């Protein structure tokens, strides 16, 4: 098995995967080594993990916007976001309604 990475084949996906691995490594070190590590090191690991996670988010959003612009999908993405918002709002309302009905039913059963 070869782990050499050539520069010309190093893609954005590889960069995001690398950032994800490093961020998760920081978080796992904090979780498993908290009793052993001093508070300063733990805080620095958490901050470093947060910076790496934020970098992943920014790179992903930037690349997604560039991809959408390149393929002229702006209106389709906007329509998809609106449909997604409507579906999520409907699902949330349904679950909330079921919860309220269950609470009312339980209160009536106690009487």
CB atoms near residue 5 (< 10 Å): 10
103 and 83 within one domain: yes
Q: Which tens digits make up the pLDDT trace of 52-106? A: 999 999 999 998 888 888 889 889 999 999 999 999 999 999 999 999 999 999 9
Q: Which tens digits make up the pLDDT trace of 5-64? A: 566 666 888 888 999 999 999 999 999 999 899 999 999 999 999 999 999 999 999 988
Please give the residue range of the domain that contains residue 18: 9-72
Give the chain's domain count. Answer: 2
Phi, psi angle pair for 110, to nearest 5°: -75, -20
31 lies in a domain? Answer: yes
Total-model pTM: 0.66
């Amino acid at each position: 098995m070869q782990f050499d990475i050539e520069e010309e084949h190093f893609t954005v996906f590889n960069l995001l995967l690398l950032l994800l691995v490093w961020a998760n490594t920081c978080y796992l070190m904090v979780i498993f080594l908290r009793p052993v590590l001093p508070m300063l090191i733990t805080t620095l690991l958490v901050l470093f993990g947060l910076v790496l996670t934020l970098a992943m988010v920014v790179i992903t959003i930037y690349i997604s916007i560039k991809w959408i612009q390149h393929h002229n999908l702006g209106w389709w993405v906007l329509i998809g976001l609106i449909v997604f918002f409507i579906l999520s709002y409907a699902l949330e309302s349904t679950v909330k309604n079921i919860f309220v009905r269950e609470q009312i039913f339980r209160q009536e059963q106690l009487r």
